[in-house]
C-alpha cells in the first residue's frame, strides 16, 4: 500500500477513535450511564433504555424537565434508566458502539420491528422482552411519556393495574 493511502487510512481510524472518545466523554464526565451492561445485573427487573443525542432539543427538554421528576417519583425509584447517548441526531442509534454487547438484543428487536433510528427513544424492557417503545416525547404528559408507555412501565414494576 502506498504511503499516502496508509496515512489516509490511519487518519480515518484516528478520527473514528476520537469521535468515539468524544461521544463517551459526556457519559463518563456526567456519570450518566447506569452501568456498562444493564440487563445482566437486573435480570428479571424492568428497566428503561433511553437513546438520546447531545444536540436533540426534545432530549434536552426531557433531561432538564422530566428526568428530575421521574427520578424522584415512586416509578423512578423502581425503574432504572439506562442512558445511551450518540453525539448527534444524525448518528445511527443502532450502531454497535451505542449498545453494550449484552444489550444489543434490544437494538435487534427495535430494528426487526422497524422502529426508525430516532432520538429520543425510550425502550421498556423486562425479563429479556421489550414491553413498550416510545419515540419522541409528549410534553403535556407525565415524564413526557405517552399513556400506553407510562401504563406499561407502572405495570412492569408493580405500580399499576
**pLDDT given for residue 161 in this prediction:** 58
pLDDT tens digits, one per residue of 1-44: 565 654 554 454 545 544 544 444 444 433 333 433 444 445 67
- Residue from 143, 139, 157, 155 nearest 42 by CA: 157
Give every CB contact of residue 117 below 8 A, 6+ residues apart in sequence: 92, 93, 94
**pLDDT given for residue 159 in this prediction:** 87
pLDDT tens digits, one per residue of 97-153: 999 999 999 999 999 999 999 999 999 999 889 999 999 999 889 999 999 999 999
Please state, in angstroms and as integers, the Cα–Cα distance from residue 146 to each residue in 9, 18, 62, 137, following that order: 46, 37, 13, 7
For residues 8 and 1, give the distance between their C-alpha atoms in angstroms, rounded to a whole number.
Answer: 11
**pLDDT given for residue 17 in this prediction:** 42
Average pLDDT of the segment spanning 63-86: 95
pTM, two decimals, is 0.74
- What is the CATH superfamily name and number for domain 33-156? Glutaredoxin (3.40.30.10)
Sign of CA dihedral 34, 36, 42, 45: positive
Amino acid at each position: 500500500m502506498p504511503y499516502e493511502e496508509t496515512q489516509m487510512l490511519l487518519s480515518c481510524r484516528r478520527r473514528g477513535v476520537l469521535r468515539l472518545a468524544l461521544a463517551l466523554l459526556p457519559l463518563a464526565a456526567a456519570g450518566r450511564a447506569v452501568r456498562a451492561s444493564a440487563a445482566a445485573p437486573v435480570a428479571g427487573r424492568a428497566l428503561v433504555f433511553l437513546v438520546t443525542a447531545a444536540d436533540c432539543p426534545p432530549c434536552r427538554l426531557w433531561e432538564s424537565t422530566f428526568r428530575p421528576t421521574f427520578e424522584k417519583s415512586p416509578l423512578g425509584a423502581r425503574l432504572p434508566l439506562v442512558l445511551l447517548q450518540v453525539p448527534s441526531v444524525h448518528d445511527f442509534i443502532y450502531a454497535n458502539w451505542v449498545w453494550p454487547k449484552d444489550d444489543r438484543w434490544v437494538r435487534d428487536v427495535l430494528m426487526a420491528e422497524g422502529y426508525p433510528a430516532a432520538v429520543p427513544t425510550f425502550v421498556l424492557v423486562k425479563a429479556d422482552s421489550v414491553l413498550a417503545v416510545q419515540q419522541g416525547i409528549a410534553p403535556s404528559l407525565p415524564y413526557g411519556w405517552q399513556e400506553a408507555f407510562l401504563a406499561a412501565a407502572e405495570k412492569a414494576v408493580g405500580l399499576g393495574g
